[in-house]
Amino acid sequence: MNMEFVGNRINARTILATLTVAFFAGRISLFGGTFPAATALITVMLAVSTVYIYLIPVMAAAMLTFYGQGAEIFGDMLAMLFCGLFFLFFHRQRFSINQRTAVASAALIFFNALYYAAGHILYLFSVEKMVLEIVAAVIYIRVFNTCARAVFVRRPAGQFSAEKTETACLLLTVSLIGAVDYAEVVFPLWAFAAVIIQYCRGLQQAVVFSAAASVFWLCQGRAEAELFLCFIGALIGGWFLALLTDGRYRKTVLALTVFAVAMAAFRQQVYGTAAAMAVFIAVPPDILRKLWCVARERIMPETTDDTDLRIRALKQDLRKKREAFLSLGKLYSAGLDSRQIISYQFIGMARTVESLIEDLSGRGESARREKAAPVLVGHASYAFGSVSGDSCLSFAFGRNKQALVISDGMGKGSRAATESRLVVTTLSRLMEAGFDVDLAIKTVNAILMNDNSDMFATLDLAIIDRQTGRAQIFKMGAASTFVRHGNQVTMLKRPAPPAGVTDGLKLEYIDVKLRKGDLLLMVSDGVTDCDRKDPECFWLRQRLAEIGSRDPETVAELIINKAAEKYGIRERDDLTVMAAAL
């Protein structure tokens, strides 16, 4: 396949970046004094633009830094110069990547053999070393070719392999850092790059990076493979421990784990590693993510669309909001006046943002795809005055949750109706917005307490998980709840003051497992008080067991009619019944 680069994207920043890469590529010394990366780089860059011929003196100067250290640099230098002139002269030809690789490999073999022969030291020419250098040159040509395509070619999204480009960039980063050639500097830099990659990209890419670094050192003749085995173990350990900690401390946990392993396993690198990890901890997470996104967008703009970058930016913005809401929640938490309501609101918003971050990361409820059973809900009500003081509502929230709520306002008429509507409406809106159940209830309770008109109301809330069938029932001054399973009816009750009476709620709930065909019945106290001689509601349980219908609406109507009948001519209370069936 022919190279199809465009050479019109050359500017000052591009020139500076390529000069830096070229200098360190010229210093990549492998297998006891070979320099395959220099020839590979000039072979690829002249396919981008002929202007990159200026890289030859830069790489030659870099190679000369090894002069006098026993490295035979001139054969590789001549091969680099030949490839530069050859591809400059034939720049109008569309050489494929395989053809360019063949020319570069032939040049390395020929000019190295010529150099040794001209110096009458042909007996020092090592076929094994030459084969290894050719293999390295082929790999570097592929790496440089992939990176150059990502940086210089503009094609529609989807025509590049993100995994291939990321791997090439990792190998290039490993090599450029390794070209520094001072172990006391190289290893800490590798460690610093690895933890950044793990923090921003994930464990897999960090392990690939570390494995490539260990291979690079082996190619340089350093027998320190066990050092990298320990380091990879440190990355895995840091990843595992980070999962067990709060997101704000994961970066610190990862850095401290790597440093602890450095202390225990390779003391000769401990000071440099300590400095690298200190810098990693000191850099704010937002800056790290921003730099990572900028680098990814610049280096690999065509490997993916903009969705990944937008999601990262959105998660970063949500984290900022979460921290702000949490801090404000703590600020307003002191005191029992209206500031308490504000505290609940801020904490609720922080938890809502946290759930959004989990959803974006694929760990939240909205990211799950498990099957959930449908919940059928029916209700019936009867007002013995012009306005019912009871309010009820059924609503879905989260992904697999169904809520049923009944509230009975204290007193009668419009005042009681106002109180109960306030309770069910506020509670439903908060829970649908993502507030935790406890925070939503506490917020409603605080609103009622801080109202100057001394408002309070009962609250009966059932939350059914449509996936597991479990129901959590919260009660504040509410009547008993009934569960029908076959012909057996169970009465569930828990004494607690109504909402708006006391602060400092200690919320508890009744946990019940619903099975297919079970029916959950919630009633207002007007239903349970219709027969004062029957406080255990035997009549209701018997009637519920006798009803053959499984339709919640029908069941609710029949229970309402029976309760109204039992009142007779006595003064009656408002009646409300809600029924739910899996």
Q: Encode pLDDT of 175-218 as tens digits.
A: 999 888 787 888 888 888 888 888 887 888 888 888 888 888 88
In terms of residue numbers, what domain contains 395?
376-581
Residue 293 vs residue 46, higher pLDDT: 46
Q: Are residues 403 and 505 in the same domain?
A: yes
Instruction: Choose the weakest-confidence range: 30-44, 252-266, 355-369.
Output: 355-369
Q: Are residues 363 and 389 in the same domain?
A: no
Mean confidence (pLDDT) of the chain:
80
Statement: residue 328 has pLDDT above 50? no
Q: Are residues 334 and 387 in the same domain?
A: no
Nearest to 103 by CA among 119, 89, 115, 123: 89
Please report the pLDDT score of residue 580 as a whole number: 93
> Cα separation of 475 and 458, whole Å?
8
Q: Are residues 236 and 351 in the same domain?
A: no
- Enumerate the β-bridge partners of residue 580: 377, 520
Q: Is residue 31 part of a domain?
A: yes
Q: Is residue 308 part of a domain?
A: no
Q: What is the mean pLDDT of residues 407-426?
A: 83
Q: What is the largest CA-CA distance in the chain?
A: 125
Q: What is the mean pLDDT of residues 340-349?
A: 63
Q: How many domains does the chain have?
A: 3
Q: Are residues 280 and 382 in the same domain?
A: no
Q: Are residues 198 and 223 in the same domain?
A: yes
Six token digits for residue 31:
């297998």
User: Residue-wise over 196-212: b if at least 16 C-beta within 10 A, else e?
Assistant: bbbbbbebebbbbbbbb
Please give the torsion angle defined by the CA atoms of residues 114, 118, 119 and 121, in that order, rounded to the nearest 10 degrees.
60
Q: Is residue 2 part of a domain?
A: no
Choosing from 367, 401, 432, the residue where a domain stops is 367
Q: Is residue 268 part of a domain?
A: yes
Q: Are residues 537 and 429 in the same domain?
A: yes
Statement: residue 18 has pLDDT above 90? no
Which amino acid makes up residue 362? G
Q: What is the mean pLDDT of residues 521-548?
A: 89
> Cα separation of 577 and 524, whole Å?
7
Residue 222 vs residue 135, higher pLDDT: 135
Give pLDDT tens digits for 238-284.
Answer: 777 777 765 667 778 888 887 887 777 666 677 888 888 888 888 88
Helices (H) and strands (E) in the chain, counts: 20, 10
Statement: residue 303 has pLDDT above 80? no
Q: How far is CA 105 from the centre of its chain?
A: 44
pLDDT band at 320 (very low <50, low <70, confident <90, very high): low
Please report the pLDDT score of residue 316 as a whole number: 61
Please report the pLDDT score of residue 504 as a whole number: 65
pLDDT band at 156 (very low <50, low <70, confident <90, very high): very low
Q: Are residues 38 and 99 in the same domain?
A: yes
Instruction: Identify the top-confidence range among 102-111, 337-346, 348-357, 441-450.
Output: 102-111
pLDDT band at 371 (very low <50, low <70, confident <90, very high): low
Q: Are residues 230 and 128 in the same domain?
A: yes
Q: What are the backbone angles phi and psi of residue 491, rounded to the nearest 5°?
A: -100, 130
Please report the pLDDT score of residue 461 as a whole number: 94
Choosing from 335, 367, 399, the residue where a domain stops is 367
Q: Are residues 396 and 277 in the same domain?
A: no
Statement: residue 513 has pLDDT above 80? yes
Please report the pLDDT score of residue 265 as a whole number: 67
Cα distances from 277 to residues 193, 212, 259, 269, 272, in angstroms, run: 10, 20, 7, 12, 9
Statement: residue 387 has pLDDT above 80? yes
Please report the pLDDT score of residue 148 as a whole number: 83
Nearest to 514 by CA among 458, 552, 478, 558: 552
Please report the pLDDT score of residue 49 as a whole number: 83
pLDDT band at 79 (very low <50, low <70, confident <90, very high): very high
Six token digits for residue 538:
């035997």
Instruction: Choose the weakest-confidence range: 13-17, 320-324, 476-480.
Output: 320-324
Q: Are residues 412 and 363 in the same domain?
A: no
Q: Are residues 391 and 358 in the same domain?
A: no
Q: What is the mean pLDDT of residues 212-239?
A: 77
pLDDT > 90: what percent of the chain? Answer: 24
Q: Is residue 3 part of a domain?
A: no
Instruction: Identify the top-confidence range among 249-253, 282-286, 364-368, 544-548.
Output: 544-548
Please report the pLDDT score of residue 463 as a whole number: 94
Residue 506 contacts residue 550 (beta carbons within 8 Å)? no
Q: Is residue 302 part of a domain?
A: no
Q: Is residue 310 part of a domain?
A: no
Domain of 395, CATH number, reads 3.60.40.10
